[in-house]
């Protein structure tokens, strides 16, 4: 029978005495079902957030409840059905985020006092449910991990808002940390570059250029001080340096406009149309602002924008997958988490 050395015994005793630490991965959200009722519930929660639509006045509420929530859920449900994970009856975003949490938990399994869970800002599983579950498992410290490389008030900040709301109802609050945005983190840029190179190597054609498409934002939000646009620019510039490309070979665009206000430009769909009309025939699109594939990448980019490009004369189009739960993607998440857990584990 093998005996345990005094040093190992001391290490085990120290580890057993450490307070439990919870890690909560958080992504944007998803409807529970790919039908109009499910999408309506999701859109109502999403579009009622003052971080997303800043003017929540009577006019907006009338438009939201009287027009948007009556018509948009039906059309968006059809989009979700195109990319739905029918085997698990859930969106790919939910499938991937769960897998990211499972793989992170496995990677940290040698630290028995660390518990990993996941949540969605909108929809289920909720942030409240995630925090409650971690607390129920004895976690006295929680690291919230917004899975957004680039910071914006409508993504990262609203995650923090909800975490703070959940903690505000507790008498015995856990200690909290939040990971910062990682838009130029070396591990993130390297993972993006590696994934792009690996994907391009599988194609039967050579793209003439690559478009980096980020989720859009009303220009007025940036004018008020949101750093999102500058983060997207910094990510793209870092990726260009890593790939040895200039602005003519790796373009920056913004997708997913909503409403009539001016959004950040250039617009992805207009760029696809313009490039095809100018004679570009082969193209690839990467979406560096998304940590997991979702409606905006699998349907809007891989289907809608591919159709726009080909309709206007393009011949070959490829959407590069997000980092997802790939090995490079998990390296990024693990690097961020271990960095922010210093002193706790």
> What is the maximal distance between C-alpha atoms in the chain?
75
Q: For the chain, what's the residue count?
A: 345
Could you list the pLDDT tens digit for every one of the 345 residues in the chain? 456 666 666 555 555 567 899 999 999 999 999 999 999 999 999 999 999 999 999 999 999 999 999 999 999 999 999 999 999 999 999 999 999 999 999 999 999 899 999 999 999 999 999 999 999 999 999 999 999 999 999 999 999 999 999 999 999 999 999 999 999 999 999 999 999 999 999 999 999 999 999 999 999 999 999 999 999 999 999 999 999 999 999 999 999 998 888 999 999 999 999 999 999 999 999 999 999 999 999 999 999 999 999 999 999 999 999 999 999 999 999 999 999 999 999
DSSP annotation of 182 reads -
- CATH fold of 21-182+327-341: Rossmann fold (3.40.50)
Q: How far apart are CA 304 and CA 318, in angstroms?
A: 12
Sorted by where each begins, the domain ranges of the chain are: 21-182+327-341, 186-319
The answer to whether 231 is a known ligand-binding residue is no
- Architecture of 186-319 per CATH? 3-Layer(aba) Sandwich (3.40)
Q: How far apart are CA 211 and CA 313, in angstroms?
A: 17
Cα dihedral value 127, 129, 132, 136, nearest 10: -140
CA atoms within 13 A on the CB side of 188: 22
Residue with tokens 């505000």: 168
Q: Which two tokens stand for residue 304?
A: 């809608």
Domain 21-182+327-341 matches domain 186-319 at the CATH topology level: yes
The answer to whether 215 is a known ligand-binding residue is yes
pLDDT of residue 94: 98
């Amino acid at each position: 029978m093998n005996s345990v050395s005094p040093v190992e015994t001391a290490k085990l005793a120290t580890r057993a005495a450490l307070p439990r630490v919870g890690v909560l991965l958080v992504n944007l959200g998803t409807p529970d079902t790919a039908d109009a009722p499910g999408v309506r519930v999701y859109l109502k929660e999403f579009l009622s957030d003052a971080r997303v639509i800043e003017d929540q006045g009577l006019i907006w509420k009338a438009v939201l409840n009287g027009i948007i929530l009556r018509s948009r859920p039906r059309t968006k449900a059809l989009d979700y059905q195109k990319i739905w994970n029918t085997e698990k009856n859930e969106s790919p975003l939910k499938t991937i985020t769960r897998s990211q949490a499972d793989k992170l938990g496995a990677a940290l399994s040698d630290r028995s006092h660390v518990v990993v869970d996941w949540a969605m800002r909108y929809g289920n599983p909720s942030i409240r449910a995630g925090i409650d579950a971690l607390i129920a498992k004895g976690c006295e410290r929680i690291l919230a991990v917004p899975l957004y490389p680039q910071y914006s008030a409508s993504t990262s900040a609203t995650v923090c808002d909800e975490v703070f709301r959940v903690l505000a109802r507790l008498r015995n609050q856990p200690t909290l940390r939040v990971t910062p945005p990682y838009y130029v983190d070396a591990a993130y840029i390297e993972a993006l570059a590696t994934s792009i190179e690996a994907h391009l190597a599988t194609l039967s054609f050579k793209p003439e250029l690559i478009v980096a498409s980020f989720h859009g934002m009303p220009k007025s939000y940036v004018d008020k001080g949101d750093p999102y646009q500058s983060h997207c620019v910094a990510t793209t510039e870092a990726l260009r340096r890593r790939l040895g490309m200039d602005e003519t070979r790796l373009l920056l665009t913004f997708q997913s406009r909503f409403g009539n206000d001016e959004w950040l430009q250039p617009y992805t769909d207009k760029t696809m149309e313009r490039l095809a009309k100018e004679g570009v025939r082969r193209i690839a699109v990467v979406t560096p602002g998304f940590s997991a594939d979702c409606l905006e990448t699998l349907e809007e980019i891989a289907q809608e924008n591919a159709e726009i490009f080909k309709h206007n004369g393009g011949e070959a189009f490829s959407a590069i997958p997000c980092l997802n739960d790939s090995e490079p993607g998990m390296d990024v998440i693990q690097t961020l988490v271990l960095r922010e857990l210093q002193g706790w584990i």
